[in-house]
A and B are shown apart, each in its own frame.
Chain A
């Protein structure tokens, strides 16, 4: 039995959400005007939630740490967004998207949530088109689609290689519209540093004005954390430099359960690490696997130029191992396969920690099609090459440019070199069907929650989930709570709870500033990243995890006695911001390892070496581990584990195979 209630409504799967949203309590428009909502985060989840709630009449305050809400990390998403529109007439449906997502997550997510996600996916596309998002189109003017990993239909909508940017700008424009009208108050360059709880309910936040350094108190009848993922615990990841766990972690320390912290997504196609000074890693979108083929040489330590290696000496290992899905297997599978080849001595490039992603055959295929379209008979190889490259440029131009800038190599001519990197975190704050954490009035949306992706997220599903949460779920589910709050008057921020919360934040800042040690926050962050990457990364084992826990504990101690933060707390101080975030990563890192250690099975992105099949595939244990691990913070870096059992009524839980 679960000891926590996910509040999934009763009824048949395909009718749950419709029935629920048609019967949940509502807040009438005049009452909405006196209810205040705090939204922390302005990425896809935050911007969409804030604008949708403000449109309904709620009074909304939005916070982000960047200088403008438009710069939230969502801006960097590249490849696309899924929706079950079946525009391609290839057999897609709400059910198929639901099924693919549950299977993609290795049967570790909730049926009810995922079905709802698939149901509202189509509305998202309609909404974004209406906002003016310039999605890719076919010649006839209809919306265009492409494939992403873990699916056999084409349901991914995209805008070149910058889908996140265009979707975020759509949401940001809507948010700015509400700011202009005065129904949203925006606080950029502000960092939330704690939740304020009164009588057990979330009632506000303490935020630091990052320019003046002053602490501020803000009241809200409800608080929504839309603060993104924690992949930067690993220091090197594809996340933006500022992405961090602080908001979620402070909420966790105030009682919110943290779910499945060990589920990290390592993305197979990123530009490999090239120097010790590297500050972040760059993704090459999964969409490239539509047209790029992944291979290594059959010969070990082959130093030949890739273009000189003949076809029959190449090992297209994904196509070989997984003929049904080929290069489009899900990310966890593709990443492990790359690691396996490199560990076996077939890695390419100077570091030998890379594989090829090759576009030569697509250039040929597209070039030939284009030549036909243009009525060129017997096109020369040169013509085909030229036309094919033009097609690739239209589809992925910005990605190819990015690759060239970073590596100084031209991917139109030589295969890309790629390697897996930390990318996304499926774990996050535990939420129920209403997206509320176990702290009443405190919600988590987008990557910050754990809800829909199980142990592995399928490509193009994060944008879908963020916008589903913000545009189409929270506007309904928040009424369940707020309809009981219409009599709650705005609480003065002079209330003792606010004063105390602010003092606690101030004390931590003072403590950090007073250490005056010898090493920068980045120094500790890099060290933590190394521990996590080596022992809680693409593959884990009991011994390594136990060591990691000890190493993190001792690193944390060193941090609290030796970090150096120059400057003053009462001014813009980037080192202080970093140190606060690293302090939280150092606690989270331990919990990630503890969670990985208790999960004695392999599933999705969590690969425990002890639990694998003879072919090296992940071996799940449904009998003992078909649950969400939800950790309760007991203070002093100790935790209690709560289990939410996952019930599969619709789907036959089975071996996950992409062969």
Chain B
């Protein structure tokens, strides 16, 4: 297959960036999208040019490192997958594919397609945990949890923290990310004790980190590679209201 890759190149945080086009020939349809980038980078290196910098690690959709904005969508055209799980066969032969980094004030570009997502860690540090020290926990089976509650918690805790939701949102809101952590704990007895503080602290931190408001366009849900539902946001809003009222 043949493609033209139009890729955002930016030397560092302070430099101006620009698109550069790279024609690619004879790409095997079995290649993954990132293997195509590896292939292109090998070519660039052999020509003495700097390869394109991008994040990836697990290459199986679980670590949340990869983060490309492909043809106007977070993680590209296939719903429910990360950039590293995309395959070249999902694109049309001869297509021009435009690739950019996540765009959001809270995710400044570091180089080419790599952005700084430490704001996500900061939000977790503000309250995304159960405050127990190591040792002294009761027997695991002392806390009974119904299959449904465990499944509900799991459906939120699968968030990989990639930032697609923020990139997809026109307001760069982090509501889907933050609400995933809040809903995870809100579904379990272990999370109830600190529920009130947790939601208030995390929401305050989210605002402080400069993430925007939610205006219910649901672009986050549509582009989340784990297909986490916006119902989590509604759940977080309820938690927040309850915390404020009490």
Contact = CB atoms under 8 A, between A and B. Distances in A.
Tell me whether A and B are bound partners.
yes
A279 B146 CA distance: 41
Interface in A221-258: 240-242
Given A127-B134, A242-B57, A160 B188 contact: no
Interface string A30-65: 000000000000000000100110010000000000
A575 B45 contact: yes
Q: How large is the interface on B (under 10, 10 to 19, 20 to 34, 35 or more residues)?
A: 35 or more
A180 B128 CA distance: 10
B242 to A, nearest CB: 19
Contacts of A177: 125, 129, 131
B51 A575 contact: yes
A572 B188 contact: no
Contacts of B144: 140-142
A277 B158 CA distance: 30
A405 interface: yes
A136 interface: yes
A575 B54 CA distance: 12
Interface string B20-56: 0000000010111011001101101110111101011
B246 interface: no
A66 interface: yes
B150 interface: yes
B63 A275 contact: no
Interface in B193-217: none
A127 B135 contact: yes
Contact of A75 (B63, B184, B187): B63
A177 B181 CA distance: 14
Contacts of A51: 134
Contacts of A69: 121
B105 interface: no
Interface string B136-158: 01111101111100110110011
B12 interface: yes
Interface string B150-180: 1101100110110000000000000000000
Contacts of B64: 68, 70-71, 75
Given A67-B116, A130-B190, A137-B147, A173 B140 contact: no
Contacts, number: 216
B89 interface: yes
A566 B34 contact: no
B156 to A, nearest CB: 9
A240 B63 contact: yes
Contacts of B28: 275, 277
A345 B49 CA distance: 45
A71 B63 contact: yes
Interface string A277-294: 111101000000000000
A142 B42 CA distance: 52
Given A132-B190, A274-B30, A67 B140 contact: no
A422 B30 CA distance: 22
Interface stretch (A161-169, A371-379, A413-421): A161-169
A76 interface: yes
Contacts of B131: 177
A129 B137 contact: yes
A278 to B, nearest CB: 7
B103 interface: no
Interface string A74-89: 0110000000010100
B121 A572 contact: no
Contact of B184 (A48, A134, A278, A520): A134
A278 B35 contact: yes
Given A70-B64, A162-B62, A571-B111, A176 B125 contact: yes
Interface centre among B11, B34, B133 (most CB of A within 10 A): B133
Contacts of A134: 145, 150-151, 153-154, 157, 184, 187-188
B104 interface: no
Contacts of A130: 130, 132, 137-138, 143, 190
A64 to B, nearest CB: 11
Contacts of A274: 30
B69 interface: no
A180 B63 CA distance: 22
A564 B45 contact: yes
Interface in B49-105: 49-51, 53, 55-65, 80-81, 85, 87, 89
A140 B117 CA distance: 40
A25 interface: no
A123 interface: yes
Contact of B140 (A85, A172, A188, A523): A85
Interface centre among A123, A132, A402 (most CB of B within 10 A): A132
Contact of A279 (B12, B34, B51, B62): B34
A68 B121 contact: yes
A71 B114 contact: no
Contact of B63 (A76, A188, A472): A76
B124 interface: yes
Contacts of A574: 51, 53
Contacts of A126: 137-140
A475 interface: yes
A641 interface: no
A419 B24 CA distance: 31
Contacts of B132: 130-131
Contacts of B44: 566
Nearest to B39: A277
B120 A68 contact: yes
B116 A280 contact: no
Contacts of A534: none
A129 B137 CA distance: 8
Interface of B: 11-12, 28, 30-32, 34-35, 38-39, 41-42, 44-46, 48-51, 53, 55-65, 80-81, 85, 87, 89, 110-111, 114, 116-118, 120-121, 124-135, 137-141, 143-147, 150-151, 153-154, 157-158, 160-161, 184-185, 187-188, 190-191
Interface of A: 48, 51-52, 55, 66-71, 73, 75-76, 85, 87, 123, 125-132, 134-143, 159-160, 162, 165-166, 169, 172-174, 176-177, 179-180, 186, 188, 211, 240-242, 274-275, 277-280, 282, 401-402, 405-406, 408, 471-472, 475, 518, 520, 522-523, 564, 566-567, 571-572, 574-575
23 contacts: A67-B55, A130-B130, A130-B190, A131-B132, A137-B146, A137-B147, A141-B144, A141-B145, A141-B147, A159-B154, A173-B128, A173-B129, A176-B125, A176-B129, A177-B131, A179-B121, A180-B125, A186-B121, A240-B57, A279-B32, A406-B85, A566-B50, A572-B53
5 A-B pairs with the lowest CB-CB distances in the bound complex, closest first: A141-B144, A180-B125, A130-B137, A173-B129, A134-B153
